[in-house]
Structure 1
Amino acid sequence: MASRGWTRWGLFALVGALPVLVLGWLAVVVVRFATSDYPLGGGPEKVPCAEALDFGGAKLPEGAYDTECTVQAWMDTDYEATFRMPRAGVRDWLTGTYPKGPAPGTELCDESADLCLNLDSDEHAPPAGVDANAVVVNVTYEGPDTARVSFSAFTV
């Protein structure tokens, strides 16, 4: 008889502890979502710039410096690259990299950009054979000789 009583109390303790465990788990999830920019994982990771630009069918231009490149992947993949280069070579680099793309211009640029190129439609898609579904390049002139390039190649 003694063992039967322990079985009932053990079952009662298990059923009583279950809501506490569920509430504890829920509290951890809420705190993680509230304190993390990437609660489901997939935060940005540094990668070689050759990898980042290659994903969108490009190569670093000659004279590029201050390079910083990342990839963020979860459901989609997003490569970001920023670098500086000689201002005089920006248009040639863009048209040489994407000869079948639209001409670089000022339409649909980021607010602070002076020049951009968008390959994100059926009419103007990234080159065949690259992994990216879209490429967006924004250029900001930082002076008479320097341009800061923000390159993004991603899947959708």
Structure 2
Amino acid sequence: MPCAEALEFGGGKLPQGAYDTRCTVRSWLDTSYAAEFRMPRQDVGAWLAKTYPSGPAPGTELCDDGADLCLNLDSEAAGPPAGAGADAVTVNVTYEGPDRALVRFSAFTV
């Protein structure tokens, strides 16, 4: 599964400098795209702000276990951008040292 398609479904784009990319899609009653990749740690905040400018600020509440930062777009007040195929998007970021971050991205219909 191309990662560009997975992120596009959630209204995003793969960040510059992303590597070790793995992406999947599952579809039955609902559609769910998942992406996992690494990127430079210092670029995470700017990538999230550029990707979801009208979304909430990333935080530490409701993150997956082990994540240092997350973003949840799953309501009318803070949903995916117009044109996205997903009803909800979650992004969990785990810092793997001073220079690298592991990003787990999920976009799905409900």
After TM superposition, the score normalised by the length of structure 2 is: 0.99
Q: Residue 112 of structure 1 aligns to a residue in which SS? A: coil
CA RMSD of aligned residues (A): 0.5
Going by fraction, where is helix more abundant, 1 or 2?
1
Runs of 4+ with deviation above 2 angstroms: none
Unpaired segments of 5 or more residues in structure 1? 1-46
Q: Residue 47 of structure 2 aligns to a residue in which SS? A: helix
Answering whether residue 24 of structure 2 is matched by residue 70 of structure 1, we say yes
Residue-by-residue CA offset, 1:52-108 (whole Å, 9 max, x unaligned): 000001101011000000000000000000000000000100011000000011111
Cα displacement (A) at 1:122: 1.5
The aligned runs of 1:1-156 (5 Å cut-off) are 47-156=1-110
Q: Distance in 1 between matches of 2:39 and 2:106?
A: 16
Cα displacement (A) at 1:109: 0.6
Q: Distance in 1 between matches of 2:93 and 2:24?
A: 18
Between the two proteins, the alignment pairs up a number of residues equal to 110
Determine what percentage of the aligned residue pairs are the same residue. 72
Residue-by-residue CA offset, 1:123-152 (whole Å, 9 max, x unaligned): 100001111000000000000000000000
After TM superposition, the score normalised by the length of structure 1 is: 0.70
